[in-house]
Structure 1
Amino acid sequence: MRTPPSYRPDRPRTAPRALRVAGISACLAALLMVLVVTHWSPLMSLDRTVAGELHRHAVGEPGLVHLNRVLTDWVWDPWTMRALVAVVVIGLWWHGARLLAGWVAATSLVSTLVQQGLKAAVGRERPEWPDPVDSAHYAAFPSGHVMTAVVTCGLFLWLLRVFGAGPRVWRGALVVAGVSVAGVGFTRIYLGVHWMTDVLEGVLLGVAAVAFSIAGHHAWTARTTTGAAAPRHDG
């Protein structure tokens, strides 16, 4: 099995940091879900205000609506993101990094299952407008577009760290990831198919999924490395 020469194992402090990020994100996501399920009035009012203002703007700007539809349906569509993950997984497998390939694929798959499970469990209705500019299927909470984008970008950033990407590459990738997540979140609200809290939940869950995955990978590799290095005691 060939391992890429630039591969670097996770740093010792990676797992604790990732677990902290995962725990905080998961707790915030759980709190937000409770507030949405219980229809906490201040938050629901904010949701309606933000969605209403953006929708009124969208109705009068067909050109911007078309641009946002292209971005959300093609550039940042979940299937586009999954296709990118598939390409990276195949590349990792081909170059011998099979544990990483499987880990990335599993993280993407599990996050999709969690996302769909929460949609079914919460069953939140999408915004309804007398003059819609776009449409979407399934329940609203959390945003599948946003969560998939966060998971995909987060995994790619992690892989860049693992393979020792230089500062310029890292900063460039960070900008692209930030623009992608913010952009897809905005398009979903602007097109009137999601509430602001759907987008926020997608971000929190995506961050938690990636952070848990990084911590789990570190624990797995640390255990297997320790096991391989342990002396044998023949009886």
Structure 2
Amino acid sequence: MRHQREIALGVRTTQAAGLAVALLVPFGMIAALVAARAGALHDLDMRVADRLHASALEHPALVDAMLWWSLILHPNTWRVAAVLLAIWLARRRETVLVWWVVATMAAGGVLGGVLKLLFGRHRPDLLDPVARATGYSFPSGHALNAALGAAVFLLVLLPRTAGRTKRAALVVAAVVLPLITAYARVALGVHWTSDVLAGMLLGVAVPAVTVAVFQGRRVRVESGGVHIR
């Protein structure tokens, strides 16, 4: 029973594997279009960037809010929060989940950094920028880590949360926080729409893959037919 609690992520192995495939396919399509420098994708990115940038120029208070949001929900914030989550799980002696949290956050962070170097996509170059960011653009690190961190916290905390209201609030937060982060990065003119969309897809796909790996390993290690919630 203790082992079942340790790996209770609310997702079965087959479900996690299916979700991973469902997310990685559109991510791969976007990545292929970015690598090919597809004109249709570039035109779409430009139209969205121009529209949101015009709105940002007209609303400086919104720009300030988005800058603060990006600072508060920086990728390092999610990493620190994940460390605290791992410590909490360690105190509860849920060792498997500790390793899952650490491995998932590390895998997402490393993968995002490697992909940025591989694609080498430049950030938007606007005439009157309201914000600046360093490094390459694809995929968005903010969007990736927001989706990654939100998925990790949701999968760990949802099975341990009682009450419909609290569970609904947890799900809403896990969806809304990455979406606002993604919007802010595009509206600030530091990312293309395809950057943040790819980042969010990858951010959710990584936990799905690691859930399938960890839970699949548990099924193989334990005696046959163990039901893992």
Q: Trace 1:66-77 onto structure 2 (pairs within 5 A).
A: 66-74=64-72, 76-77=73-74
The answer to whether the Cα contact below 8 Å between 1:26 and 1:208 also exists between their aligned partners in 2 is yes
- CA separation of 1:9/1:210 partners in 2, compared to 1, >3 Å: closer, same or farther? closer
Partner of 2:56: 58
Aligned-partner SS, 1:137: coil
Quote how far apart the aligned CAs of 1:11 are: 8.3
Q: Give yes or no for the alignment of 1:86 onto 2:88.
A: no
Q: Trace 1:7-46 onto structure 2 (pairs within 5 A).
A: 7=5, 9-10=7-8, 14-46=12-44
- CA separation of 1:165/1:220 partners in 2, compared to 1, >3 Å: closer, same or farther? farther
Quote how far apart the aligned CAs of 1:152 are: 0.6
TM-score, normalising length: structure 2: 0.91
Partner of 1:101: 98
How far apart, CA to CA, are the structure 2 residues paired with 1:225 and 1:4? Answer: 12
Aligned-partner SS, 1:84: helix
Q: 1:157 aligns with which of 154, 166, 190?
A: 154
Partner of 2:217: 220
How far apart, CA to CA, are the structure 2 residues paired with 1:200 and 1:149? Answer: 12
How far apart, CA to CA, are the structure 2 residues paired with 1:124 and 1:19? Answer: 29
Which residue type is aligned with residue 51 of structure 2?
A: E
How far apart, CA to CA, are the structure 2 residues paired with 1:141 and 1:82? Answer: 20
Q: Give yes or no for the alignment of 1:133 onto 2:130.
A: yes
Cα RMSD between the aligned structures? Answer: 2.2
Quote how far apart the aligned CAs of 1:165 are: 4.2
The answer to whether the Cα contact below 8 Å between 1:122 and 1:141 also exists between their aligned partners in 2 is yes
How far apart, CA to CA, are the structure 2 residues paired with 1:96 and 1:4? Answer: 9
Which residue type is aligned with residue 61 of structure 1?
A: H
How far apart, CA to CA, are the structure 1 residues paired with 2:31 and 2:170? Answer: 30
Q: Give yes or no for the alignment of 1:143 onto 2:140.
A: yes
Q: Percent identity?
A: 30
CA deviations on 1:82-129 (whole Å, 9 max, x unpaired) are 111010011111221111111111110011000000000000000011
How far apart, CA to CA, are the structure 2 residues paired with 1:95 and 1:79? Answer: 24
Matched residue count: 225
Quote how far apart the aligned CAs of 1:214 are: 1.3
Q: Decide which structure has the larger Cα Rg and report it.
A: 1
How far apart, CA to CA, are the structure 1 residues paired with 2:188 and 2:10? Answer: 44
Q: Tell me, which stretches of 5 or more residues in structure 2 are unaligned?
A: none
- CA separation of 1:197/1:12 partners in 2, compared to 1, >3 Å: closer, same or farther? closer
Which residue type is aligned with residue 144 of structure 2?
A: M
TM-score, normalising length: structure 1: 0.89
How far apart, CA to CA, are the structure 2 residues paired with 1:49 and 1:101? Answer: 43
The answer to whether the Cα contact below 8 Å between 1:123 and 1:140 also exists between their aligned partners in 2 is yes
Quote how far apart the aligned CAs of 1:169 are: 2.1
